Structure 1
Amino acid sequence: MVSELDLGLVHALQVRPRASWTDLAPLLGATAVTLARRWERLTEEGLAWVSAVPGPAFSRSGCTAFVFVRCAPAARRRLARRVALLPEAVTVELVAPGRADLMVDVLAPDLAGVHRFVNEELAVLPGVLELECVFATSLYAEGSRWRLGSLDAVQLSVLGRTGSADGAAGSVAEPGTMDRVLLDALVRDGRTRLSVLAGLVDSSAATVRRRLARLTAAGVVAFRCDVAPVVSGLPVSVTFRGRASVNDVNRLHRTLATLPECRLLAAVTGSANVLATYWLRDIGGVQQRETAACAQLPSLDVIERVLGVRTVKRMGHLLDDEGRRVGVQPIRPW
């Protein structure tokens, strides 16, 4: 069972993923000990987890691509598990058979890195028949911005005020060796204690806190709280691929991104220059969401509806058939 307190806790951690239980206790009307126990149960059961992900700076320096893979029918699940082992494949989803069987989100430091991964690692895997790769030219919405919607406006206002001093000014160049050790640990568990992180790099907790603050403020890293469908209540995933006029593409953040359940929204290369993913309550929501999208952006012509069947990996975390986290295959896009 997932309680109202659990839902509120998850939403709070989506806003402030590394907030202390002491800070969240008065907001949620529970003791810090209770919140810690609730979170421990949620993570142990694979219902929710916090992890480090690339921050806003990645869209300026790195490369995001979406690869649609067609494969032999008998190879679908086996290939998905194999692709999930590759660090560049940050998210792997089995989709309803059509023009593709798998949808893979790829992160790499540059365009050459994506080409190398797609052509030299992905394309040569047994069972792969055909690949289509499109590149994100602008990312208007992604998972770290998605919210559960369990807290009210007053709670969110308080949460925003208490978190206003969490960041630190400054900029960072390319992450160093110590930073990469910290990031690797935080990809596995974004709430790893400062004392534990300090032990990994043989430094002090204060030094680690400052380094993480700089990495976050510079947009190198962000943190997000993900959930299984039993928590979100949104078990259906659909990705729309469509065409919109060039003049309308820059309006995506004011139109399609404002629709409920928007999980991902990007302008991409190719004849279908818009890619949008929504999490929905049921299959009937697919038509409703498409209708709403076209009403918001009249020039949009939806040319393909890619229905997710099972997410095998999401941002480095391995999931079971019910979408619960069962392991980690770390990503290293930095």
Structure 2
Amino acid sequence: MKETDAAPSLVQEPVIFAELDLALVNALQLQPRASWVDLAGPLGTTATTLARRWDRLSKAGLAWVTASFGPEFARSRCISYVMIRSEPAERTSVVEQLAQCPEVATIEVATGGHDINCDVLTLDLRDLDRFLTEKVHGVRGVISVSILLTTSLYLEGSRWRLRSLDQDQLNVLNKSTMSRTQGNYVNHLDGLDRSLLGHLANDGRLSWAELASLTDASTATVRRRVNKLISSGIVTFRCELAHSLAGWPIQASLLAQTPAADVDRICRVLAAWPECRFLAAVTGTANVYATFWVRDLGELQRLEARTSGHFPSLTVVHRMVALNTPKRMGHLCDDEGRRTGTVPISPW
């Protein structure tokens, strides 16, 4: 079993996301590794204030930055969704075992036909088969397993936005956001690359000096390597938050079916909806998989009605509501979504 890196102990105090906290999270969604000095101007405060705010949020497990798979990974590697039915008495044990697997990025305990849904990142289909054979099938309490494979990824957590900033703030931050122009594809990752990715998966805001110390390399080398990994699309960064405490207590997913000719058009429109957090075209009877963050179950009902009205050819075949998310992109979470520890992903 992989040792879990524990997060700092949670601060036991009333949870309040102030406007500046939400603005800071939104800014870090746009520029996860920006310095406090660079963010202070657009947010209308000081670097010291931002550093203090982030320290509070991070120590309380309310927000964190992590390395995630980039667009090149989504195109060239395997992203799958493993949906498990388990014995009720064994569900907690099954979740705990799966949470320790670096291939498992996210786990949801949900309503619906499958009570444990996992986002799984592997190099290829053979690695997926090994994961299923060695770490899923045969686990005590697992009744059945269903697999969906991503054919096109339209939206995921690194591209979802909190929408707490005004347009002027967005204009400033977007102008200075790192170029997304693709560089030379990194076909082979060496030991230093993998070490850097592992440390950044644990804490995506580690400084160049901290990374150099952790990897026994120079700051110039780690800066060059990380920037190359970013520009080639291998890695990106995302700022996560305890969504239920920030006003989005309901996370719900829809599996839907539509004619193949309509999939791309529908997904591109859905990906622009502010409630949409994740969206993929997938294999199987259902070929569209969408996840939404909403404020209540009534909003979910209205959202599904809106979806049906906009896309007559789209038929919802399965609905899932997350009861809790024990793991989100390699970070362990409590029932309210606060980070409590880390089992870093290692799909590279």
Same fold (TM > 0.5): yes
Q: Cα–Cα, structure 1 residues 164 and 133, in superposed 2: closer, same or farther, change >3 Å?
A: closer
User: Contact 2:244 / 2:250 at 8 angstroms: preserved in 1?
Assistant: no
Shift of the alpha carbon at 1:155?
A: 0.6
Correspondence for 2:146: 132
Counterpart check, 1:279 vs 2:293: yes
Are residues 1:228 and 2:231 paired? no
1:12 is matched with: 27
Segments of 5+ residues of structure 2 without an aligned counterpart are 1-15
Contact in 2 for aligned 1:167/1:214 (Cα 8 Å):
no
How far residue 93 of structure 1 moved from its aligned partner, in angstroms, is: 0.7
1:289-304 to structure 2, matched below 5 A, reads 289-304=303-318
Normalised by the length of structure 1, the TM-score is 0.96
In structure 1, what is the equivalent of residue 47 of structure 2?
Answer: 32
- Structure-2 residue corresponding to 1:333: 347
- The residue aligned with 1:58 is 73
State the Cα distance separating 1:79 from its structure 2 match: 1.3
Cα shift at 1:176: 1.2
C-alpha displacement at 1:61, in angstroms?
Answer: 1.5
2: distance between equivalents of 1:77 and 1:237? 20
Pair 1:100–1:168, CA change in 2 (3 A): closer
Alignment of 1:87 onto 2:102: yes
2:45 corresponds to 1:45: no
Is 1:261 paired with 2:261? no
Between the aligned partners of 1:168 and 1:22, the Cα distance in structure 2 is 27
Tell me the distance in 2 between the aligned counterparts of 1:253 and 1:134: 17
Secondary structure of the equivalent of 1:285? helix
- Deviation at residue 118 of structure 1 after TM alignment: 1.5
**Match for 2:20: what amino acid?**
L
The Cα shift of 1:169 comes to: 4.4
**Conserved 8 A contact 1:256-1:297:** no
Partner of 2:12: none
Structure 1 unaligned runs (5+)? none
User: Which residue of 55, 60, 68 maps to 2:83?
Assistant: 68
CA distance in structure 1 between the aligned counterparts of 2:244 and 2:279, rounded to whole angstroms: 23
Q: d(CA) in 2 for partners of 1:145 and 1:253?
A: 15
Amino acid in the other structure paired with 1:116: R
CA distance in 2, matches of 1:111, 1:164: 32
2:175 to 161, 164, 168: 161
The CA deviation at 1:112 is 1.1
Query: Secondary structure of the residue that 2:33 maps to in structure 1?
Result: coil
TM-score (structure 2 length as normaliser): 0.93
Query: In the TM superposition, what whole-angstrom CA distance separates every residue of 1:109-133 from its partner, at most 9, and x where no partner exists?
Result: 0011112212331111110000101
Describe the superposition over 1:204-231 as per-residue Cα deviations: whole angstroms up to 9, x where unpaired: 2122111111110000000000000245
Q: Quick check: 1:167–1:216 contact (8 Å CA) kept in 2? A: no
- The count of aligned residue pairs is 333
8 Å contact kept, 1:259–1:293: no
Which stretch of structure 1 is more off in the superposition, 293-302 or 25-34? 293-302
Query: How far off is 1:67 after superposition?
Result: 1.1
Partner of 1:114: 128
AA in 1 matched with 2:274: P
Aligned residue identity for 1:108: T
Q: Does residue 310 of structure 1 match 2:324?
A: yes
For residues 54 and 160 of structure 2, the distance between their equivalents in structure 1, rounded to whole angstroms, comes to 19
Tell me how large the CA RMSD over aligned residues is: 1.4
